[in-house]
């Protein structure tokens, strides 16, 4: 090793001291600012009437809560959603206001963002979204969503970040930091255990403390502690008998006490059910509870649970005013971070930079599931006939789906993108099926037309999947079946009989069954890609962009292979009152690995147009103490013919554990891009706390000593090497 000169050592020491001083000064400055804000808030509290404080704790309209006009304290304005700013709503109903200046950029849904396995891109996504929210004068963005993918039937899975808590935690933090750079608060949702839409308003979830802490809370914890989210939204469902929007365990014991959350808890819309529970169990702002039409049109929400009933209890002395003051102080602190922050930047909307971000996320998130005989990419310079079949080739996917629907300035459909990119090809289109028609004759005509053009084509691109209709990928209801809707399975099988050169492009936020898999060449999981959907998809299909997305959840072969469904109706969807998470910690690939159930496609799976070789996989040592950090290094070489990106994934399992464990769990990953023939060394660091399990005997985390196995590969079912290490 080359020795360091005394002069260089002194320079390094001086620089290190300088950096520490800067960090200390920054922390001191932030601390001083925080103290100054606290003093200011205390002075404001003393000026407020009880009535004014109460008004700040509940809605004044569908998407705003009250300020205090006489003191110049502004209202708080909120907006859906996680992947774009929703159109303006009317003051007191769910109709759109039909403004002409609320068009936005639609970013890919969060399943796509998670599939990128790229935290840096998540930060860019958050920055772009925050700028659009700021331009629209929003103070709180109602997102991101990090509920865990437990069942492929959940209608709202497309808004979330997959089945793995480590992946969701890693991806959500930069998203939040990016949004809040613009002085717009995120409201991470839906806290917690809102893992189905069916019966969401009342179903009571029973789950072990271990599964709660290991699977369902980590992404929320990361969002609060590491991401610093300024608000959080409660869930509709119950947990252990109490609604999540005013739940003692979730909001007080865990969120505010254990995690030290200093922000604002907002109810989901109409998720509030009790005045006393709302007062004492952690809720700060009640939103969406139906207004009282008998009241003044200016104040239709005064009779909410945190309205007049709260006021009466304060005036009577039944409830002490400090309970109200705690809520108002949190709200004022949020305002000083957003609407009262004089230094927050201006926003921007529908910019080229935002379109570029949407395009990058879309192309990096698309997952190539299957590619027999290197069927893809299709050479865009050849003069061939391409049959594009499927309603989703032209159907808008930015509208519908519930609260996340958007009014976009621009949306490139898949068919439009293909025609733009494949200028030398003859492209013929047939709808193939209809999501709107129940007319048997019409559906037979659509099928006949599709088969007719398929026979004439060199290549068939079937663009189907799910959509944003009710009981598909949509808020408010779950899917009813695992198979593709609208007889698409039958249509794909029929096309395969007249043309074998088929690629199925699935537009969805959920896994589906694939009875036709062995009859077709390739499968592309395309998600809901937003404004740049067609451009991104065409870039992947043509090879202009190399697919690098990885599945953020498992595709089971059949529904009963999914852990939630394996245990029957009490596990999903419940008996109408209660449901029991009988699979416990074995969610997604944890279940498949541990029970040795082969999936259709595994978590972390995703192909490329090039190939990669992983070698020289080692750990920095064999024995680790509890304060150590594990370093896994790996040489990655692009052995194929084109530039591409690979995701190195590190899983860890515990042998001979004293508690039940999954065979392995994701604990680290890194995405890297390599030129043709290029190789790089990847280093992935895993802190020892990542090996801990939640020990119910002590109600805390516990690192078990003994032998562990480190699995390194590029998918949960494609492991290149196993390394044994020991915690001493």
3-state helix, strand, coil in the chain (%, to 5): 35, 20, 45
Q: Residue 313: which H helix or E strand, with range?
A: helix 308-316
Question: Which residue in the block uniquely carries the two structure tokens 């969002």?
Answer: 223
Neighbour count for residue 347 (Cβ, 10 Å): 18
Q: What is the DSSP string of 19-66?
A: HHHHHHHHHHHHHHHHHHHHHHHHHHHHH--HHHHHHHTBEEETTEE-
Nearest to 286 by CA among 305, 311, 300: 305
Q: Residue 644: which H helix or E strand, with range?
A: strand 644-654
- 638 and 548 Cβ atoms separated by less than 8 Å: no
Tokens found for residue 466: 């799910």
Instruction: Kindly report the backbone phi and psi dihedral angles of residue 614, in degrees, each rounded to the nearest multiple of 5, phi listed first.
Output: -100, 130
Q: For residue 268, indicate whether it is catalytic.
A: yes
CB-count exposure of residue 724 (10 Å: 0-12, 13-18, 19+): exposed
What is the distance between the alpha carbons of residues 303 and 300, in angstroms, rounded to a whole number? 8
Helices and strands per DSSP (H, E), number in the chain: 17, 27
Instruction: Kindly report the backbone phi and psi dihedral angles of residue 634, in degrees, each rounded to the nearest multiple of 5, phi listed first.
Output: -155, 135
Instruction: Kindly report the backbone phi and psi dihedral angles of residue 720, in degrees, each rounded to the nearest multiple of 5, phi listed first.
Output: -85, -35
- 665 and 652 Cβ atoms separated by less than 8 Å: yes
Cis status, amide bond into 144, omega within 30 of 0: yes
Find the catalytic residue in 102, 139, 268, 473: 268
First to last CA, the chain: 30
Question: Which residue in the block uniquely carries the two structure tokens 């890297």?
Answer: 672
∠ Cα 227 214 234 (to 5°)? 55
Nearest to 604 by CA among 557, 685, 548, 674: 548
Q: Which residues are catalytic?
A: 268
């Amino acid at each position: 090793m080359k020795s360091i000169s005394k002069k260089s050592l002194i320079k390094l020491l001086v620089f290190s001291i300088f950096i520490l001083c800067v960090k200390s000064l920054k922390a001191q400055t932030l601390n001083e600012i925080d103290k100054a804000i606290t003093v200011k808030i205390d002075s404001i509290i003393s000026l407020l009437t009880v009535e004014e404080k109460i008004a700040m704790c509940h809605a004044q309209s569908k998407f705003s809560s009250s300020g205090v006009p006489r003191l110049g304290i502004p209202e708080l304005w909120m907006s859906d959603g996680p992947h774009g700013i929703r159109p303006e709503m009317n003051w007191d109903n769910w109709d759109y206001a039909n403004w002409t200046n609320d068009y936005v950029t639609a970013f890919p849904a969060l399943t796509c963002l998670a599939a990128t396995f790229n935290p840096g891109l998540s930060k860019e996504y958050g920055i772009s979204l925050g700028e659009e929210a700021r331009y629209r004068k929003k103070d709180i963005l109602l997102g991101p969503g990090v509920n865990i993918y437990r069942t492929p039937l959940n209608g709202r899975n497309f808004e979330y970040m997959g089945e793995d808590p480590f992946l969701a935690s890693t991806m959500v933090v930069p998203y939040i930091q990016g949004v809040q750079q613009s002085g717009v608060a995120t409201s991470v949702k839906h806290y917690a255990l809102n893992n189905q839409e069916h019966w969401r308003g009342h179903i009571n979830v029973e789950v072990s403390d271990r599964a709660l802490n290991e699977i369902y809370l980590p992404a929320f914890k990361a969002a609060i502690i590491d991401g610093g989210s300024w608000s959080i939204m409660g869930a509709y469902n119950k947990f252990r008998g109490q609604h999540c929007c005013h739940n003692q365990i979730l909001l007080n014991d865990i969120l505010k006490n254990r995690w030290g959350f200093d922000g604002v808890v907002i109810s989901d819309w109409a998720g509030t059910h009790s005045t006393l529970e709302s007062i004492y169990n952690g809720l700060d702002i009640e939103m969406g509870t139906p207004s009282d039409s008998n009241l003044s049109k200016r104040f239709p929400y005064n009779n909410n649970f945190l309205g007049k009933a709260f006021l009466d209890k304060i005036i009577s002395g039944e409830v002490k005013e400090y309970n109200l003051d705690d809520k108002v102080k949190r709200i004022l602190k949020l305002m000083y971070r957003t609407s009262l922050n004089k230094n927050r930047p201006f926003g921007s909307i529908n910019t080229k930079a935002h379109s570029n971000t949407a395009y990058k996320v879309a192309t990096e998130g698309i997952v190539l599931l299957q590619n027999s005989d290197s069927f893809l990419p299709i050479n865009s310079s050849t003069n061939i006939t391409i049959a594009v079949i499927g309603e989703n080739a032209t159907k808008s996917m930015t509208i519908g789906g519930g609260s996340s629907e958007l009014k976009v300035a621009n949306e490139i459909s898949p068919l439009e993108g293909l025609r733009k990119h494949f200028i030398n090809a003859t492209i013929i289109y047939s709808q193939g099926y209809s999501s709107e028609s129940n007319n048997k004759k019409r559906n037979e005509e659509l099928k006949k037309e599709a088969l007719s053009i398929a026979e004439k084509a060199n290549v068939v691109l079937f663009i189907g999947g799910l959509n944003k209709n009710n009981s598909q990928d949509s808020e408010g209801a779950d899917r009813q079946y695992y198979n593709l809707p609208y007889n698409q399975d039958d249509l794909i099988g029929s096309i395969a009989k007249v043309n074998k050169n088929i690629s199925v492009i699935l537009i969805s936020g959920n896994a589906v069954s694939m009875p036709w898999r062995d009859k077709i060449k390739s499968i592309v999981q395309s998600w809901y890609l937003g404004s740049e959907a067609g451009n991104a998809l065409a870039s992947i299909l043509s090879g202009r962009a190399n697919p690098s997305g990885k599945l953020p959840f498992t595709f089971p072969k059949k529904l009963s292979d999914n852990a939630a469904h394996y245990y029957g109706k009490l596990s999903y969807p419940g008996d109408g009152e209660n449901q029991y998470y009988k699979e416990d910690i074995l969610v997604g690939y944890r279940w498949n690995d541990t029970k040795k159930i082969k999936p259709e496609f595994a978590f972390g799976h995703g192909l490329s147009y090039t190939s990669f070789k992983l070698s020289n996989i080692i750990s920095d040592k064999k024995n680790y103490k509890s304060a150590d950090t594990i370093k896994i290094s790996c040489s990655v070489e692009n052995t194929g013919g084109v530039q591409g990106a690979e995701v190195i994934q590190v899983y860890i399992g515990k042998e001979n554990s004293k508690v039940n464990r999954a065979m392995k769990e994701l604990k680290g990953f890194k995405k890297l891009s390599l030129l043709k023939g290029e190789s790089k060394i990847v280093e992935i660091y895993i802190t020892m706390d990542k090996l801990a399990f939640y020990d119910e005997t002590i109600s805390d985390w516990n690192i078990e000593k003994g032998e562990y196995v480190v699995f390194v590969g590029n998918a949960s079912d494609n492991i290149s090497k196993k390394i044994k290490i020991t915690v001493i």
